[in-house]
Every structure is written in C-alpha cells, then in structure tokens.
Amino acid sequence: MTDLNIRKTGRAGRITFARPKALNALSHRMALDLHAALDDWRDDPEVALVIIDAEGDRAFCAGGDIAAVYRAGLEGNHQVGRDFFRDEYLMNAAIADYPKPIVALMQGFVMGGGVGVGGHASHRIVGDTTQIAMPESGIGLIPDVGGTWLLARAPGRIGEFLAMTAGRMGPGDAIHAGFADSYLPEAEWPALIARLEETGDTALIYGATPPPASLATRDLSAFGKDGLEQIVAALEAAGDDEALKPIRRNSPLSMMAGLAMVRAARGDARMQDSLSREYRFTRRATEETDFMEGVRAQVIDKDRNPQWSADASDAHVRALLSPLGADELVWEE
C-alpha cells in the first residue's frame, strides 16, 4: 500500500495520499485499500475519527488514474473500467455514510476522483491553494464519484455551470457551492491534525474567513435553459465568452448527459441513487461515448485536440442512462 500511507496515530485513523509526483491520482488499488481501511476502523474503539490528507503541495488528489482503463479499452477489454468505477463508487458511498467523523484536508488540485474522496467527508477543510473541479466533460465523461449529487445541491444553477464548463473553484467558491465546509490557512493544518490525533474531537476544528465567492454574484441564469443549444444561445446573447469558451471545447455528449444527470440528482433521496445513475454512464463509457478520445487527447497523447464524435442526442443520453439490469450498481441496506 505504498500509494496510500494508512496508519493509526493517537485517536485517529490516518490516510495520506502518497503519490505526489502523480498529483496523488487515485488508482483502483488505492480505492480498494482506502475502503478496506475504513471497514477496519468502523468498529475499532481506538479510532475516534479518520483524517485524510495528502503529500505534496500541488494536489490533494487530481483525479482517477484512468490510463489503465484507457489501455484496456483499446484492447477491447471494457471490464477493467467497469470494475474500477464500481469499486470507486462503493468507496465514495462508504465515506459519505461513515458512522465516525472523516476530516479531509484538501490542498491544491481536488478534481474528479479527489472530490469523490474529500467532497463526501463530514468535515471538509480547504486552503489558499485549493482548486476544486469536476472536469470530466473535458475528457468525454460525466461528473461521477457522487459529483452529480454535490452539483445538484449547489445553489441556483451553479451545478449545471460547473458540470458543463468543468470550472475550477477556489476556497471561497468551494464553500459557497457546498463542496467544502471551512477555510483554514494551510500553515495551520499540521497543528490542527496533531490536536485531532491527540483528542479525537472534531469540536476543535475551526475556520477563518474564506476569500470571497465569485460564484455568488455571477449571473448563471442561462444554465437554467432546457438543453445545450438553448444554453449556448443564451450565453451568446449575454456575451458570456468566459463560459462559452470551455463549452465549445468540451464533449457535447458529456455536457448533455451531465446536464440531465445533475437535474435528475436533485430528486434523489440519497447519494447512492446518484452514484447508480453515474455508473450507468461510466459502465458504458469505453464503448459508447467520447471517453476514449478524451483520454487520448488530454492524458495519453496530450495534444489537447479531441475529435468528439459520439452521438449527443437526447435519445442517446437516455440510452446511456437506462438501467443496466443485472449489472446495475446496487446497495446493501
């Protein structure tokens, strides 16, 4: 378990991402190991709380390690991706439902799979370097790892805006949008961790006044329109080039599906419902979407020039989100 430093210190179970050179990208093995640690500590009387942090100053976790999924998909093996997404989502739900406090300290990049870990903790701390995003529409995927659940609960139309543009949030915006709870200068994190390890008492967590939230004052009314074409038309009428630029760059299918999924998640009673819907898309992603081309362009070849070709029609979105039958992601009650 070299990519995760898992140990007990004082009253705390400690999980530290330990792949700083890879921006602490989350591999399948790491998702399984993290989940196993939580299971081990669930009934451990020595563990009063869990603390999740990361080595390095560039990233808490910049996303899932999807290169292996891509390589297997190229060879026609779609099960590698299916297994990775399933096990990752089971881990995400375990964090959200954990009976003990989980404290996540999220510096630098917190994207995709990183949000799936830190974004569902009970106590989510951000600092000055924090940049949180669900950037999946840029790689032909959808906001997953429970991302649609979080986006659906952001104020106003922030959820649609972030899903479609893959926009990044600093600490103030992350708190405003409901992706974090408190802001604390990162120089103060080691001392807080030490006190939590000693006492196991989350009442000791404190926060400073966060930077202003730019999303709180931004006009996002265009993102309340019915679909991609209508949203683009409204943004063009408003002259919002800042939003139009990423929308013109990202996968049309991913944006259409993300839009539908964020709106559907507003009716979900629990995060597991959102995760099951996300799995319907991601289980099919290596075969029926823009995902392979997006990963090629952004991660493998890095030419940043994806040639999107997947069908972005409403009918295809409905097909991708249709139930999986025996393969549906189901939850133990």
Catalytic residue numbers read: 64, 113, 136, 144
Region of 239 please: left (phi>0), alpha (psi -120 to 50) or beta.
Answer: left
What does the radius of gyration of the chain's CA atoms come to, in whole angstroms?
19
DSSP-assigned letters across all residues of 278-312: HHHHHHTHHHHSSHHHHHIIIIIS--------S--
The answer to whether 133 and 80 are in contact (CB under 8 A) is no
> What is residue 104's three-state secondary structure?
strand
> What is residue 84's three-state secondary structure?
helix
What are the two backbone dihedrals, phi and then psi, of residue 178, each rounded to the nearest 5 degrees?
90, 20
Q: C-alpha dihedral over 286, 291, 294, 296, to 10 degrees?
A: -10
Give the separation between CA 14 and CA 197, rounded to whole angstroms.
Answer: 9
Give the separation between CA 248 and CA 264, rounded to whole angstroms.
Answer: 24
Candidates 216, 219, 191; CA nearest to 205 is 191
Buried b (16+ CB within 10 A) or exposed e, 256-293: bbbbbbbbebeebeebbbbbbbbbbbbbbbbebbbbbb
H or E element at residue 193: helix 189-199
